[in-house]
């Protein structure tokens, strides 16, 4: 129970900044109906409880399953088996990602399951690439340069309606379902090598797996029928509390079925490994089953809260803000970005990871502030795009170019952590409330929702690639300078005593 309370507390801290800022806007800037605000508050409560239960379930089941599968594959020492299982796991866990489910619900011109499966295949394919990279000891830098080069080459020929969706898909796949499996498999395969670089090569898997959805959704754009996208914005209001309660109750069965289908593949893979490899005792087996049940319940609550409570208010609030305070939209978005990332629990984990890797040379506060600044700028860019209609590529191409150039001046470990951390920044609030807010603004501004509003997750996921590498570069230079000074002092002491 203490663990569950802790997870719910972490989730509440993440959602609280949104609640406070939305309350201020609704009470003092843009009036909204009582029904919409009540639905939003109920949705926020479901998201807080749902994410808490989901995170605890994912840690007690998905992480354990990932670790056991990684260890089992390591013992087999069969590369072909590792590749096949990696693809299957990548596909299975990705279709269960809550942020991906939310994004698929929002995209109007691609069938939900088509988009989810495309993204899952992309992650599965690139997870195989990751395994080969670790096994062969290929430098992460060259793979990033090659695959991002291919991605941006494809963008030149792609349908504009698919560009922002593709890059957003890459940002929403690195969540609590996918990352534990990816990391566990990476560590397991790295243990097959005995050289000193094996451990470092286990980083960067999330970075490569984020490219898969981008590449495969761009390819989908060439193959999928280009039906006219229905982008009319509609939102639901409720006349009374009975109607509001009925909306929530009627939505729950739908998301129960949808979530069961999403979790079925990973459950089947777990049972197969239990029968043929794990052969765990009753107690650990049922503990994992309980974890899967927690994951299921949390995901149902999360999706219901997002789609019933958050979507309508976010869309309506965005439209009203456009007419009321058009020229304050960018500062408001930047403020939301600053507080969202500051309260993100995953940022704390990233801080500790970098402190450990740098042996304390890079303090956690430097990472926290650099991320806060980066995400505030990213949110401001996203809102600027909506208001002005500037193409996403004007920001992504130079942004990724800077990030890739920095890889030549930063130690490999910081490059891997920076590219891995893109998913840390693009948390649940970005894919849920902020995207809906931008859709509302875009609709009222008369823009193209597919090209202007979408792309916020991509922008948010890109900025840490730059900010964390810059921090690594600055502190790396400081460390080198300190070593040189220490060496000079030592030399002087030797000369004096000589």
Q: What is the pLDDT of residue 378?
A: 93
Task: Write the pLDDT tens digit of every residue in 161-194.
Answer: 899 999 999 888 877 677 766 776 776 666 666 5
Share of the chain above pLDDT 90, in %: 32
> Within 13 A of 299's CA, how many CA atoms are on the CB side?
29
Stated as kind and residue range, the H or E segment containing 114 is helix 112-136
Over residues 332-352, the pLDDT tens digits come to 999 988 887 876 666 766 677
Structural contact between residues 150 and 240, judged by C-beta atoms closer than 8 angstroms: no
Q: What is the largest CA-CA distance in the chain?
A: 91
pLDDT number for residue 347: 72
Provide the pLDDT confidence category of residue 82 given band limits of 50, 70 and 90. Answer: confident
Given a cut of 50, is residue 13 above it in pLDDT?
yes
Residues 6+ positions from 264 with CB-CB distance below 8 Å: none
In this structure, what are the phi and psi dihedrals at residue 31, rounded to the nearest 5 degrees?
Answer: -70, 135
CA dist 204 and 330 (Å) reads: 33
Q: What per-residue confidence (pLDDT) applies to 76?
A: 76
- pLDDT, one tens digit per residue, over 268-315 is 989 998 998 888 888 999 999 999 999 999 999 988 998 888 888 888
Give the predicted TM-score (pTM) of the model: 0.86
Question: Contacts for 242-246 with beta carbons within 8 Å, 24 or more apart?
Answer: 243/35, 244/35, 244/38, 244/39, 244/42
Question: Over 50: is that where the pLDDT of 74 sits?
Answer: yes
> Tell me, what's the pLDDT at 81?
87
pLDDT at 436 over 50: yes
Distance CA 434, CA 170 (A): 17
**What confidence category does residue 482 fall into, taking pLDDT thresholds of 50, 70 and 90?**
low
Integer Cα distance of 209 and 180 in angstroms: 13
**So what's the pLDDT on residue 382?**
94
Residue 498 above 50 pLDDT? no
Residue 435's CB is within 10 A of a number of other CB atoms, namely 27
Buried b (16+ CB within 10 A) or exposed e, 108-124: ebbeeeebbbbbbbbbb
User: With 70 as the cut, is the pLDDT of residue 483 above it?
Assistant: no
Mean pLDDT of the chain: 84
Q: Specify the pLDDT at position 494.
A: 46
Q: How many residues does the chain have?
A: 498
Q: How confident is the model at residue 73 (pLDDT cuts 50, 70, 90)?
A: confident
Please name the helix (run of DSSP H) or strand (run of DSSP E) that holds residue 260, with its range, or none. Answer: helix 241-273
Return the percent helix, strand and coil in the chain, to nearest 5: 85, 0, 15
Predicted local confidence at residue 216, as pLDDT: 96
pLDDT in tens, 361-386: 778 778 888 888 999 999 999 999 99
pLDDT at 106 over 80: yes
Q: Which residue has the tokens 């792609």?
A: 158
CA distance 237 to 34: 9
DSSP for residue 239:
S
- Angstrom distance (rounded) from CA 189 to CA 130: 10
> Do the beta carbons of residue 423 and residue 409 sit within 8 Å?
no
The pLDDT confidence band at residue 427, using thresholds 50, 70 and 90, is low
78-92, 197-211, 325-339: lowest mean pLDDT where?
A: 197-211
Phi then psi for 174, rounded to 5 degrees? Answer: -95, 80
Mean pLDDT, residues 20-44 taken together: 89
Which are the contacts of 364, defined by CB distance < 8 A and separation ≥ 6? Answer: 348, 351, 352, 354, 355
Cα-Cα-Cα-Cα dihedral of 247, 249, 253, 258, to 10°?
A: 50
Residue 311's pLDDT is: 80
Which residues 6+ apart lie within 8 Å of 132 measured at CB? 83, 138
The whole-angstrom separation of Cα 66 and Cα 92 is 12
Gap between the Cα atoms of 134 and 236, Å rounded: 49
| Cβ proximity of 456 and 435 under 8 Å | yes
State how far the alpha carbon of 388 is from the alpha carbons of 168, 232, 255, 398, 445, in Å: 20, 20, 36, 19, 9
Q: Which two tokens stand for residue 453?
A: 């509003």
Report the C-alpha gap between 266 and 64 in whole angstroms.
Answer: 13
Share of the chain above pLDDT 70, in %: 86
* Structure confidence at residue 496 (pLDDT): 40
Q: How many CA atoms lie within 13 A of 122 on its CB side?
A: 32
- In this predicted model, what pLDDT tens digit does every residue of 121-140 receive, in sequence order? 999 999 999 888 887 878 88
pLDDT at 420 over 50: yes
Give 228's DSSP letter.
P
Cα distances (angstroms) measured from residue 47 to each of 3, 9, 13, 304, 366? 17, 12, 12, 8, 30
Q: What is the pLDDT of residue 383?
A: 95
Distance CA 463, CA 185 (A): 27
Residue matched to tokens 């080069």:
149
What does the block give as tokens for 113?
A: 């399951």
């Amino acid at each position: 129970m203490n663990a569950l309370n802790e997870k719910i507390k972490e989730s509440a801290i993440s959602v609280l900044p949104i609640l406070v800022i939305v309350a201020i806007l609704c009470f003092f800037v843009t009036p909204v109906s009582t029904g919409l605000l009540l639905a939003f508050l109920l949705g926020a409560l479901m998201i807080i409880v749902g994410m808490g239960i989901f995170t605890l379930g994912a840690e007690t089941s998905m992480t354990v399953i990932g670790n056991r599968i990684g260890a089992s594959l390591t013992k087999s020492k069969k590369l072909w088996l590792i590749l096949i299982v990696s693809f299957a796991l990548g596909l299975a866990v990705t279709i269960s990602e809550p942020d991906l489910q939310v994004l698929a619900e929002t995209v109007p011109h691609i069938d939900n399951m088509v988009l989810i499966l495309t993204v899952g295949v992309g992650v599965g394919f690139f997870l195989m690439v990751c395994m080969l990279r670790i096994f062969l000891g290929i430098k992460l830098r060259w793979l990033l340069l090659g695959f991002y080069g291919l991605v941006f080459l494809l963008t030149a020929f792609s349908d504009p309606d698919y560009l922002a969706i593709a890059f957003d898909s890459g940002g929403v796949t690195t969540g609590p379902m996918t990352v534990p499996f990816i990391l566990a498999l990476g560590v397991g395969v790295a243990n097959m090598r005995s050289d000193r670089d094996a451990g470092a090569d286990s980083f960067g898997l999330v970075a490569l797996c984020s490219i898969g959805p981008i590449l495969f959704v761009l390819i989908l754009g060439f193959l999928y029928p280009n039906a006219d996208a229905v982008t009319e914005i509609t939102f639901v209001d409720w006349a009374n509390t009975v109607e509001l309660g009925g909306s929530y109750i009627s939505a729950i069965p739908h998301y129960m079925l949808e979530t069961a289908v999403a979790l079925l593949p990973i459950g089947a893979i777990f049972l197969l490994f239990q029968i043929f490899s794990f052969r765990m005792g009753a107690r650990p087996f049922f503990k994992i089953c309980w974890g899967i049940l927690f994951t299921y319940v949390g995901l149902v609550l999360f999706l219901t809260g997002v789609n019933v409570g958050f979507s309508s208010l976010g869309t309506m609030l965005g439209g009203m803000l456009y007419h009321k305070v058009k020229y304050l939209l960018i500062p408001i978005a930047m403020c939301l970005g600053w507080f969202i990332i500051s309260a993100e629990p995953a940022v704390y984990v990233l801080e500790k990871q970098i402190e450990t890797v740098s042996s304390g040379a890079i303090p956690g506060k430097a990472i926290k502030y650099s991320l806060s600044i980066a995400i505030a700028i990213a949110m401001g860019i996203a809102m600027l795009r909506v208001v002005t209609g500037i193409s996403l590529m004007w920001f992504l191409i130079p942004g990724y170019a800077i990030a890739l150039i920095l890889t030549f001046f930063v130690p490999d470990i910081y490059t891997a952590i920076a590219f891995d951390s893109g998913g840390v920044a693009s948390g649940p609030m970005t894919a849920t409330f902020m995207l809906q807010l931008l859709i509302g603004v875009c609709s009222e501004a008369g823009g193209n929702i597919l090209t202007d509003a979408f792309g916020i997750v991509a922008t948010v996921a890109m900025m840490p690639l730059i900010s964390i590498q810059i921090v690594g570069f600055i502190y790396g230079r400081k460390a080198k300078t300190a070593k040189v000074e220490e060496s000079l002092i030592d030399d002087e002491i030797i000369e004096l005593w000589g």
